[in-house]
Structure 1
């Protein structure tokens, strides 16, 4: 009798502590993207269509929507950004929306501890509210999808897609301000690489080319065997409209790249020289 009781107790204990792991109908997803120098992360759940009418049906028009399923859909910015033109401090926000047939209201909400919609909406917790037009996708999207696309040095688009609907909200990041601050700090005691990085940024960001040329020249003086620096110098000189100087720098870069056996830079400079007729 005691053995039976012991076995019964053991069985109850096992069933009490066992956990069944099974797929969720709306699986979790996480999107991590660096935009310029800013890290952006989105965490959300992905319900599927499963033959249902989505917007105007499962998700009513004009009603507050959790923008996904289960816990709050969250977006985190590592820096202060402009979201749809609105200033948003660094931090984590819940994304709420009011879908409409022609446009959506997209809101960033500071309270991120809700399951679904808040029991009581607090307008003071809305960090940003943006109106975004709906667009039609070329083909239906079976699962609710959030992406960060259309990347540039200074921003991107938060894209939300389901069924045949696409909504996107542009946001900008402080890449230029952060890079300028980094350059300013580095210039107090710059290395050849600091000068190179600063000049490369000025070239890509369409900043003062004369300043970029001054920095890249100092970089070549400090590291006269760096074929990649001479290559960048030639591109800056091309953009300044000084083709002859660009040819001279590219020939120097080509010779150094051949000397070091770097075939990638050999080809880059050969292609540039051919493009310039040299």
Structure 2
């Protein structure tokens, strides 16, 4: 038999269940627009780690627009990208001591500069969108040639191989040789 008290009890339970589900659904974390990622690998005897935030293309034109040519860029999103090597290495034939560095890049249509800076832990950009590094702390700058990527990469990624590392994003790959 349905009694008014039983109906009120069932409605109250249903209401509380609905409210609880709504409250918990609001607390669920939203995915980050540029999630933190880490690439690891070995080049010779050196263990290499690149810690970065991975933005998405999201229908935007990346090179020359979102990331302008001729201006230093944090090589990812959010904080400056970090590059760590546990051994002394040669990057594009130039010596780099073991340690952790912020990596900044200056994109160009035909050539890029890769900058290893000894200052770490800073945000990637200053007010006005300028890359957040002091050039006095640049430990190494090398030039590399970008190339068309084998496939479209919606998210920025770094790949480490036995020959070095590559930044891949949109339709571009930027290989950096390490020995």
- TM-score w.r.t. the length of structure 1 is 0.51
SS of equivalent residue, structure 1 residue 124: helix
* Corresponding pairs, count: 149
Task: Work out which of the residue numbers 125, 135, 138 in structure 1 matches 2:147.
Answer: 135
Q: Which residue of 2 aligns with 1:67?
A: 75
Match of 1:157 among 144, 164, 168: 164
Correspondence for 1:47 = 55
CA contact (8 A) 2:124 2:132 kept: no
Distance between the aligned counterparts of 1:139 and 1:91, measured in 2?
32
Name the one with the larger helix percent: 1
- Matched with 2:19 is none
Counterparts of 1:145 and 1:121, CA distance in 2: 22
Deviation at 1:20, TM superposition (A): 6.0
In the superposition, relative to structure 1, how do residues 121 and 74 fare at CA in structure 2: closer, same or farther (>3 Å)? closer
SS at match of 2:145: strand
Per the TM alignment, residue 34 of structure 1 is displaced from its structure 2 partner at its CA by: 2.4
Moved more, 161-170 or 32-41: 32-41
CA contact under 8 A between 2:43 and 2:164: conserved in structure 1? no
Encode CA deviations 1:201-260: one digit per residue, 9 max, x unaligned.
Answer: xxxxxxxxxxxxxxxxxxxxxxxxxxxxxxxxxxxxxxxxxxxxxxxxxxxxxxxxxxxx
Q: Give distance in 2, aligned partners of 1:30 and 1:136.
A: 23
Residue number in structure 2 paired with 1:77: 85
From 137, 159, 165, give the equivalent of 1:125: 137
RMSD (CA atoms) = 1.6
Out of 35, 41, 47, which is 1:33 matched to? 41
- TM-superposed CA distance for 1:121, in Å, is 4.2
Q: Which residue of 2 aligns with 1:168?
A: 175
Output aligned runs, 1:227-246, within 5 Å. Answer: none
TM-fit CA distance, 1:86: 1.4
Take 2:132 and 2:154, find their aligned partners in 1: how far apart are those partners?
31
Query: How much has 1:132 moved relative to structure 2?
Result: 0.6
Q: Is the 8 A contact 1:76 1:93 kept in 2?
A: yes
Structure 1 runs (4+) greater than 6 angstroms displaced: none
Structure with larger Rg: 1
Whole-angstrom distance in 2 between the partners of 1:30 and 1:146: 8
Determine if the alignment matches structure 1 residue 110 to structure 2 residue 122: no
Which whole-Å CA distance do the structure 2 matches of 1:78 and 1:53 have between them?
Answer: 36
Structure 1 Cα separation of the partners of residues 140 and 68 of structure 2 = 22
What SS class does the counterpart of residue 178 from structure 2 fall into?
strand
- Relative to the length of structure 2, the TM-score reads 0.78
- Give secondary structure in 1 for the equivalent of 2:109: coil
Equivalent residues of 1:137, 1:166 under 8 A apart: yes
